[in-house]
């Protein structure tokens, strides 16, 4: 799985390993991968140091793991930026990293899954895919694109035993999100107060009224990766704490 050295990605890697999967742990550098492996502890893990946002990095990652039965596209970047200050290069970078990297890997592994008659492709999207945040519309755009990509590849895999889904993750408690929260609220606030202020001011729609823990996202991914989810495909499933104000997923 891509982007699995920290946060949601590392939690998913741990969850899949606990369920018996052999998991490729991917990060840009050998150091980040080694650190993640030491934190993950026991499990059948394969180190995959590679920048999968490039064609060369994607090829190296696939060579390291071999045949792929479950592809979890988790790699993503985010950051606050005023809408009118997002440059052409910023737009391209968010599309390249958050969308095209996932498309490229799917294109490589889906034929083999179809031939074997089984496989799982997952995209970690975000509530920002459907509730575009004014402070980072380039990020929202990339996550909306993932929903379209997921639905389209699900149609391409129709009738083959391969399922393709996206997971809409709500505001989640990770190190990167802590930095993001403090970029929007008073940096002198203790974390518990800063989190509450962030949710009150910037994510008031949340029914959970707290940040989601990465393991809670991982639980959905493990389910969708399993034979139990054989009839679930082409979907955008929410683990968002009720943030998206909709009845249907």
146 and 58 share a domain? yes
User: 198 in a domain, yes or no?
Assistant: yes
Q: State percent of the chain over pLDDT 90.
A: 91
143 and 200 share a domain? no
Task: Count other C-beta atoms under 10 Å from residue 204's C-beta.
Answer: 9
**In this structure, are residues 113 and 121 in contact, taking their beta carbons and an 8 Å threshold?**
yes
Query: Of these residues, 139, 182, 223, 243, which one is catalytic?
Result: 139
40 and 122 share a domain? yes
Calculate mean pLDDT across residues 154-175. 96
User: 249 in a domain, yes or no?
Assistant: no
Q: Mean of the per-residue pLDDT values for the chain?
A: 96
List pLDDT tens digits, range 214-238: 999 999 999 999 999 999 999 999 9
48 and 22 share a domain? yes
| CA–CA separation, 174 and 66 (whole Å) | 30
Calculate mean pLDDT across residues 148-155. 98
> Which pLDDT value is given to residue 90?
98
User: 247 in a domain, yes or no?
Assistant: no
| CA–CA separation, 52 and 193 (whole Å) | 36
User: 248 in a domain, yes or no?
Assistant: no
User: 54 in a domain, yes or no?
Assistant: yes
Q: Are strands 162-169 and 23-27 parallel, antiparallel or unpaired?
A: unpaired
**In this structure, are residues 9 and 25 in contact, taking their beta carbons and an 8 Å threshold?**
no
48 and 73 share a domain? yes
pLDDT above 90 for 163:
yes
**In this structure, are residues 73 and 102 in contact, taking their beta carbons and an 8 Å threshold?**
yes
73 and 163 share a domain? yes
The model's confidence at residue 179, banded by pLDDT at 50, 70 and 90, is: confident
Helices (H), the chain: 7-18, 30-40, 55-65, 88-95, 101-116, 137-156, 175-184, 191-202, 214-225
> Which pLDDT value is given to residue 86?
98
28 and 61 share a domain? yes
**In this structure, are residues 150 and 234 in contact, taking their beta carbons and an 8 Å threshold?**
yes
Domain residues for 203? 173-211
60 and 146 share a domain? yes
84 and 203 share a domain? no
Task: Say how many domains are in the chain.
Answer: 2
User: 246 in a domain, yes or no?
Assistant: no
List pLDDT tens digits, range 24-80: 999 999 999 999 999 999 999 999 999 999 999 999 999 999 999 999 999 999 998
- Strand-pairing partners, residue 169, are 126, 239
Residue 139 among the catalytic residues: yes
User: 28 in a domain, yes or no?
Assistant: yes
- The tokens for 183 are 């970029």
Beta-sheet strand order (sheet of 236-239): 70-73, 119-126, 162-169, 236-239
| CA–CA separation, 164 and 70 (whole Å) | 10
Calculate mean pLDDT across residues 2-10. 96
User: 228 in a domain, yes or no?
Assistant: yes
Task: Tell me the DSSP string of 173-188.
Answer: --HHHHHHHHHHS-TT
196 and 183 share a domain? yes
Residue (of 219, 218, 213, 133) closest to 174 by Cα position: 213
Q: Which residue has the higher pLDDT, 241 or 175?
A: 241
What is the pTM assigned to this prediction? Answer: 0.93
CATH number at residue 51: 3.40.50.720
9-19 burial, b at 16+ Cβ within 10 Å, e below that, comes to: bbbbbbbbbee
pLDDT above 90 for 174:
no
58 and 105 share a domain? yes
206 and 224 share a domain? no
Task: Tell me the DSSP string of 219-245.
Answer: HHHHHHHSGGGTT--S-EEEESTT-S-
> Which pLDDT value is given to residue 26?
98
């Amino acid at each position: 799985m891509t982007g699995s050295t920290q946060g949601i990605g590392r939690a998913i890697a741990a969850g899949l390993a606990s369920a018996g999967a052999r998991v490729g742990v991917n990060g840009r550098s050998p150091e980040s991968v080694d650190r993640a492996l030491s934190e993950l502890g026991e499990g059948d893990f394969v180190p995959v140091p590679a920048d999968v946002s490039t064609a060369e990095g994607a090829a190296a990652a696939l060579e390291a793991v071999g045949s792929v039965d479950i592809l979890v596209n988790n790699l993503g970047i985010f950051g606050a930026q005023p809408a009118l200050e997002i440059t052409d290069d910023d737009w391209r970078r968010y599309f390249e990293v958050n969308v095209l990297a996932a498309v490229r890997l799917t294109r490589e592994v889906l034929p083999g899954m179809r031939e074997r008659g089984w496989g799982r492709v997952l995209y970690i999207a975000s509530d920002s895919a459907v509730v575009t945040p004014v402070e980072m519309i380039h990020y929202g755009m990339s996550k909306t694109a993932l929903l379209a990509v997921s639905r389209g590849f699900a149609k391409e895999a129709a009738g083959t035993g391969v399922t393709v889904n996206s997971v809409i993750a709500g505001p989640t408690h990770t190190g990167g999100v802590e930095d993001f929260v403090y970029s929007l609220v008073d940096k002198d606030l203790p974390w518990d107060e800063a989190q509450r202020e962030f949710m009150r001011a910037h994510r008031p729609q949340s029914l959970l009224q707290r940040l989601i823990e990465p393991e809670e996202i991982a639980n959905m991914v493990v389910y969708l990766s399993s034979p139990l989810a054989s009839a679930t495909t082409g979907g955008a499933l929410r683990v968002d704490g009720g943030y998206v104000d909709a009845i249907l997923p």
